Copies of this chain bind each other. A is one copy, B any other.
Amino acid sequence: MAKPWATFGVDLHLEPAGPGLRKGLTDALREAVRSGRLAPGTLLPSSRALAADLGIARNTVAEAYGALVAEGWLIARQGSGTRVAGRTVVPPAGAARHPRERSRPAFDLRPGSPDLASFPRDQWLKAARRALARAPHHALDYGDPRGRPELRAALAGYLARARGVRADPERIVVCAGFAHGLKLLGTVLRARGARTAAVESYGLDAHVRQLTTSGLHTPPLPFDRRGTDPGEPADADAVLLTPAHQFPMGVPLHRDRRAAVVDWARRTGGLVLEDDYDGEFRYDRQPVGALQGLDPDRVVYLGTASKSLAPGLRLAWAVLPPDLVEEVVAVKGGVDTCGTLDQLTLAEFLGSGAYDRHVRAARLRYRRRRDALAAALAARAPKARVTGIAAGLHVVVRLPPGTERPVVQAAHWQGLAVHGLSRYRHPEAVVEPVDALVVGYGTPPDHAWSGALDALCAVLPG
């Protein structure tokens, strides 16, 4: 046999070589370690277990292990078993042996992520424990493509209470993030024959791309001093909006325009996609409820745990008009795409009030940061001006004309990651291009916050 794929016992796949049980086992193990197939640190089965599986004497296995420990391939420690020794491995050509992560800047004021250092790890684990203790076995099976019923029920209650959403658990679909939800909706719209989804003049390129890869045109809506003007998007089948807090410009959709865009959708059969990415974070007494409350048949509400908890959860939700549910589910595929345990945990987190407590604490922290940022700029960089309502996790800082690029470049040299406004401008937007930074104050952990603020002030025109 050229390649005798025999297996020596418990999940240890070895090619034995040469005559003699002990030598064969020793050689096969050595080769597996040498080639890197058995990674450093890998725990081997006990000699007793391996011998039993192979139907050979325990001594034979113990001797093979002993020989390889003597040669330095394995390490045996009393009480912690036999492991593969650490050593320099020649990586396969063209591939690094261990996954790389992107290097991180010293200070990070890019928008998009919350303060991950304040993710409520203990509370989350407690909720996971309660949720798992309560879950029926079949909750761990393949599930409803809309997501776990416990989570959809909890979300319906929360969204109605906190955001004025007219929610029904049957019309909620849990997604692996906002972009996933948008991709599903883009696919459904295109399949229905839609050609155009108008987007805002400012926004995230990655979101627009979810729509364009579905084959939709994505022209920009006008943007003026009163914010986005959905007006009468003549040829659009849908519009994508951030009504509570325009991203990144930081203004709410004007009251008149809220009503107008819903009227447009009713009159034309168009659809409004409402991106309520940071609706929980408002720091004044003038919050804006969800646009969806005005007409749940024409507005899709999209929310996410990425800003309120952590992007790593990959949990978001769409509240759909009744006639869209079936098509979205069909595009999503036959089974749920999000892990059951996190869904059950979030349901428990919402139902127990832990979510509200976390959001309230976070709101206080972010509000203080925003105030500190505004105060620092006023004192140390008077030519820079904070704009937008007191809300969310980021702010647009207006700069003197012509300074955006050099400021971003200088920040980069200083180890401060910060984005210029221009990267959020739609390439076809008809707007006066202003110089500004989009400063995310959520990202730095507390210990790095004042350093990040200093670094920012240091690169702004004085």
- Say whether, besides A113-B141, A140-B312, A164-B5, A339 and B337 are in contact (CB < 8 Å): no
Residues of B within 8 A of A222 (CB): none
A79 interface residue per 8 A CB criterion: no
Asked if A66 lies at the interface with its beta carbon under 8 angstroms from chain B, I say no
Residues of B within 8 A of A314 (CB): 335-340
A459 an interface residue at 8 Å Cβ cutoff? no
Q: Is there an interface contact between A11 and B280, defined as CB atoms closer than 8 Å?
A: yes
Whether B341 lies near A312 (C-beta < 8 A) is yes
User: How distant is A362 from chain B, measured CB to nearest CB, in Å?
Assistant: 12
123-162 of chain A: CB within 8 A of chain B: 124-125, 128-129, 132-133, 137-144, 146, 149, 152-153, 156-158, 160-162
CB-nearest residue of chain B to A355:
B11
A166 interface contact, C-beta 8 A: yes
Closest to A168 in B: B95
Which residues between 287 and 345 of chain A lie within 8 Å of chain B, taking CB atoms? 287-289, 293-294, 306, 310-315, 322, 333-342
Knowing A10-B360, A11-B280, A176-B338 are in contact, say whether A153-B311 is a contact too (CB < 8 A). Answer: no
Interface positions, chain A 169-215, Cβ under 8 Å from B, are: 169-171, 176-177, 179-180, 183, 206, 210
Say yes or no: is A401 at the interface (Cβ < 8 Å to chain B).
no
- Chain B residues positioned under 8 Å from A10 (CB to CB): 356, 360
Determine if A162 and B13 form an interchain contact, defined as CB atoms under 8 angstroms apart: yes
User: Measured between C-beta atoms, what is the minimum distance from A125 to chain B in Å?
Assistant: 6
Determine, out of A97-105, A383-391, A419-427, the stretch whose residues face the partner at the interface: A97-105
Residue of A36, A37, A38, A285 contacting most chain B CB atoms (<10 Å): A37
* Residue in B43, B94, B164, B333 whose beta carbon sits within 8 Å of that of A322 in the complex: B94
A341 and B313: CB pair below 8 A?
Answer: yes
Q: A119 and B96 in contact (CB under 8 A), knowing A162-B13, A333-B183? A: no
Contact with B along A75-103 (1 / 0, CB 8 A): 00000000000000001101111111100
- CB closest residue in chain B, given A353: B43
State whether the Cβ of A267 lies closer than 8 Å to any Cβ in chain B.
no
B-chain residues with CB within 8 Å of residue A288 when the two chains form the complex: 5
Contact A37 B3 (CB under 8 A): no
The residues of B that contact A100 with a CB separation of less than 8 Å are: 149, 170
Is A7 at the interface (CB under 8 A from chain B)?
yes
Complex CA gap A128/B96 in Å reads: 28
From B95, B132, B160, B285, A170 is in contact (CB under 8 Å) with B95
Q: Is A250 part of the binding interface, using a Cβ–Cβ cutoff of 8 Å?
A: no
Q: How far is the CB of A162 from chain B (nearest CB, A)?
A: 4
A121: interface (CB < 8 Å) = yes
Which residues of the other chain, B, contact A179 by a CB distance below 8 angstroms? 333-335
Cα-based distance from A171 to B94 in the complex (angstroms): 11
Given contacts A43-B353, A342-B342, are A180 and B311 in contact (CB under 8 A)? no
Max chain B C-beta neighbours (<10 A), residue from A11, A99, A100, A152: A99
Contact with B along A54-69 (1 / 0, CB 8 A): 0100000000000000
Q: A16 to nearest B CB, angstroms? A: 13
Closest-CB distance, A112 to chain B (whole angstroms): 7
Across the interface, A177 reaches (CB within 8 A) one of B38, B138, B337, namely B337
A-B contact sample (9 more), CB < 8 A, given A12-B161, A13-B161, A116-B138: A5-B164, A5-B293, A11-B360, A13-B287, A37-B164, A41-B351, A91-B168, A101-B144, A177-B337
Q: Which residues of A contact B (CB under 8 A)?
A: 3, 5, 7, 10-13, 32, 36-39, 41-43, 45, 55, 91-92, 94-101, 104, 112-113, 116-117, 119, 121, 124-125, 128-129, 132-133, 137-144, 146, 149, 152-153, 156-158, 160-164, 166, 168-171, 176-177, 179-180, 183, 206, 210, 280, 285, 287-289, 293-294, 306, 310-315, 322, 333-342, 351, 353, 356, 359-360, 445
Q: Can you list 30 A-B contacts (CB < 8 A)?
A: A5-B164, A11-B280, A11-B359, A12-B162, A13-B162, A13-B289, A37-B160, A39-B157, A42-B157, A99-B144, A99-B146, A99-B170, A104-B138, A116-B137, A121-B133, A124-B132, A125-B125, A125-B132, A128-B128, A140-B310, A140-B312, A142-B311, A177-B335, A177-B337, A179-B333, A179-B335, A310-B340, A313-B339, A313-B341, A339-B342
